[in-house]
C-alpha cells in the first residue's frame, strides 16, 4: 500500500529514548489487546503547532495530567512529553515543509492508553498530522449547528465522578455519533444541552457567546459610541471539559477590555446573542451562523466580532 502523501509522524514515549522513539505510522505499533483499543480506556489531548511551536502546551499538559488522575493512570513527567512533542513537530515539518507560512500548522495529539491487561505502565505516544481542510474552511465560512440533548443533568459530574465528564478520555464514540447525527440533518456541528435545559458544549469544542450593549443600555452595539462587550461561556462545573482555548481567549479578551461571564446558559441565550462560536484548539473560532435553523445575530456583527476575537486568539503563545 502506498503511504498517504502527508504521513502521520509517531513518537512513542520510551525511557530508552530521551527524546522519544520514532515509529512508522504505516506499520502496526499497538497490541490489538491494548485497552485503549478494546475499551477506549485512556486519555488524550489535541493541540495545534504553528510555525513549529506548540500552542498552549502547558495548559494541555496540565489537562492531560488531570484527565490521567481521574482515570488513575500514572503518566510520564511533563518534560518527557515536551521532548516527544518537539521531536514529532520537528520530524513532521522536515518531511512536509509548508509552502506558505499560513499553512505551517500541525495537529499534535498526545495519547495515553491503559496498555494491555496487566501492563505495569500505560502506552504513551505523540502523533503529528495535517490540519483537516474542513476545519480551516469552517473558521472562514462559519457553521450551522443543532442542539442535542446529552441526557444528563448539569450537576451530574459532581454526583457521579465515575462518568469522567471533566476528563478528556479516548471514549469519543458518543461525540462522533452526535456529529454524524448532525451531518445527516444537514448541519455541521452540535451543541449539547443537559436534561435540565442548560447549554453544555460541542462534541469537540467549547461554546462561547457575545453580547454587545451600547452605553445607553441598548442591545446590538451597532450605533457606534462606547459599547460594553461581554463574552460568556457555560459554567465550567456543569459536566463539560474545561477548554484550553476558552481559558486562553478569556484572559486575552479581559486584557482587551471585554467583560467575561460564566453561565448558566439556556438555549434562548444562544438565540438572543449577537454572536456564538464553537472554539477549540485545532479549528480555532468557528462562528455559528444558525442554530436549529435560526440565524444568530447578523452576518456583519458575526464577521466583525470573529475578526476581533480571532486576532486576540492568534496572539496567544
Ligand atoms: N469540549 C470537548 C468535549 C472537546 O473535545 C474539546 C476539544 O477537543 C473542547 C471542549 C475544546 O478544548 P480545547 O479548547 O482545549 O481544544
pLDDT above 80 (res 221): no
For ligand 1, whether the C-beta of 206 sits within 6 Å is: yes
pLDDT above 60 (res 5): no
pLDDT above 70 (res 224): no
Please state, in angstroms and rounded to a whole number, the distance separating the CA atoms of residues 308 and 249.
Answer: 11
Q: Which of 168, 172, 247 is the pocket-test mutation for ligand 1 (most atoms within 8 Å of CB)?
A: 168
Per this entry, what is the length of the chain?
317
What confidence score (pLDDT) does residue 217 get? 53
Give per-residue pLDDT as tens, 262-296.
999 999 999 999 999 999 999 999 999 999 999 99
pLDDT above 80 (res 4): no
pLDDT above 60 (res 225): no
The class level of CATH for 9-131 reads: alpha beta
Is-same-fold flag (9-131; 137-314)?
no
* 3-state SS track over 293-314: CEECCCHHHHHHHHHHHHHHHH
For residue 7, name the pLDDT band (cuts at 50, 70, 90): confident
Q: Which residue has the cell 490489538?
A: 32
Give per-residue pLDDT as tens, 81-92.
999 999 999 999
Strand order in the sheet with 17-24: 17-24, 9-14, 123-129, 105-113, 42-50, 53-54
> Which region holds residue 155: left if phi is over 0, alpha if psi is between -120 and 50, else beta?
alpha
Give per-residue pLDDT as tens, 112-161.
999 999 999 999 999 999 999 898 899 999 999 999 999 999 999 999 99
Give per-residue pLDDT as tens, 150-159.
999 999 999 9
CATH number listed for the domain at residues 137-314: 3.20.10.10
Give the position, in ligand 1's atom list, of the atom nearest the Cα of 59: 15
For ligand 1, whether the C-beta of 45 sits within 6 Å is: no
Q: Where are the domains of the chain?
A: 9-131, 137-314
Q: Report yes or no: 289 and 143 within 8 Å, Cβ to Cβ.
A: yes
Q: What percent of the chain has pLDDT over 90?
A: 87
CB atoms closer than 10 angstroms to residue 180: 9
Residue 113's SS3 state is strand
Please state, in angstroms and rounded to a whole number, the distance separating the CA atoms of residues 280 and 283.
Answer: 6
pLDDT above 80 (res 220): no
Looking at 250-304, which runs of residues are DSSP E strands? Answer: 259-262, 275-280, 284-291, 294-295
DSSP 131: P
What confidence score (pLDDT) does residue 280 get? 98
Task: Give 76's contacts (C-beta < 8 A, 6+ positions apart).
Answer: 13, 124
Q: What is the CA radius of gyration of the chain?
A: 20
For ligand 1, whether the C-beta of 244 sits within 6 Å is: yes
Residue nearest to atom 8 of ligand 1 (CA): 204
Across the chain, mean pLDDT equals: 93
User: Residue 147 forms beta bridges with which residues?
Assistant: 191
Phi and psi at residue 21, in whole multiples of 5°?
Answer: -105, 115
Q: What percent of the chain has pLDDT over 70?
A: 94
Residue nearest to atom 4 of ligand 1 (CA): 204
Query: Which residues in 101-139 are b (16+ Cβ under 10 Å) and which e?
Result: eeebbbbbbbbbbbbbeeeeebbbbbbbbbbeeebbebe
Q: How far is the CA of 52 from the centre of ligand 1 (A)?
A: 22
For residue 3, name the pLDDT band (cuts at 50, 70, 90): very low
Residue nearest to atom 10 of ligand 1 (CA): 205
Amino acid at each position: 500500500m502506498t503511504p498517504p502523501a502527508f504521513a502521520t509522524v509517531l513518537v512513542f514515549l520510551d525511557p530508552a529514548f530521551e527524546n522519544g522513539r520514532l515509529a512508522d505510522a504505516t506499520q502496526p505499533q499497538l497490541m490489538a489487546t491494548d485497552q485503549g483499543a478494546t475499551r477506549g480506556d485512556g486519555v488524550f489531548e489535541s493541540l495545534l503547532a504553528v510555525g513549529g511551536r506548540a500552542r498552549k502546551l502547558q495548559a494541555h499538559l496540565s489537562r492531560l495530567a488531570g484527565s490521567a488522575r481521574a482515570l488513575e493512570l500514572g503518566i510520564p513527567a511533563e518534560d518527557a512529553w515536551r521532548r516527544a512533542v518537539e521531536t514529532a513537530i520537528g520530524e513532521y515539518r522536515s518531511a512536509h515543509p509548508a509552502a506558505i507560512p499560513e499553512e505551517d500548522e500541525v495537529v499534535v495529539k498526545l495519547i495515553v492508553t491503559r496498555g494491555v491487561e496487566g501492563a505495569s505502565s500505560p502506552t504513551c505516544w505523540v502523533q503529528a498530522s495535517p490540519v483537516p481542510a474542513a476545519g480551516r474552511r469552517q473558521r472562514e465560512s462559519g457553521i450551522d449547528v443543532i442542539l442535542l440533548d446529552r441526557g444528563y443533568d448539569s450537576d451530574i459530574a459532581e454526583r457521579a465522578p465515575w462518568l469522567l465528564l471533566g476528563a478528556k478520555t479516548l471514549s469519543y464514540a458518543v461525540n462522533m455519533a452526535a456529529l454524524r447525527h448532525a451531518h445527516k440533518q444537514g448541519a455541521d456541528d452540535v451543541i449539547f444541552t443537559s436534561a435540565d435545559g442548560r447549554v453544555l458544549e460541542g462534541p469537540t469544542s467549547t461554546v462561547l457567546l457575545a453580547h454587545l450593549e451600547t452605553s445607553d443600555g441598548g442591545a446590538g452595539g451597532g450605533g457606534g459610541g462606547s459599547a460594553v462587550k461581554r463574552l460568556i461561556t457555560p459554567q465550567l462545573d456543569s459536566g463539560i471539559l474545561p477548554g484550553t482555548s476558552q481559558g486562553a481567549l478569556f484572559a486575552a479578551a479581559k486584557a482587551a477590555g471585554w467583560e467575561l461571564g460564566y453561565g448558566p446558559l439556556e438555549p434562548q441565550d444562544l438565540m438572543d446573542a449577537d454572536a456564538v462560536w464553537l472554539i477549540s484548539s485545532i479549528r480555532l473560532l468557528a462562528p455559528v451562523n444558525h442554530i436549529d435553523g435560526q440565524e444568530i445575530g447578523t452576518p456583519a456583527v458575526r464577521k466583525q466580532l470573529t475578526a476581533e476575537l480571532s486576532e486576540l486568539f492568534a496572539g496567544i503563545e
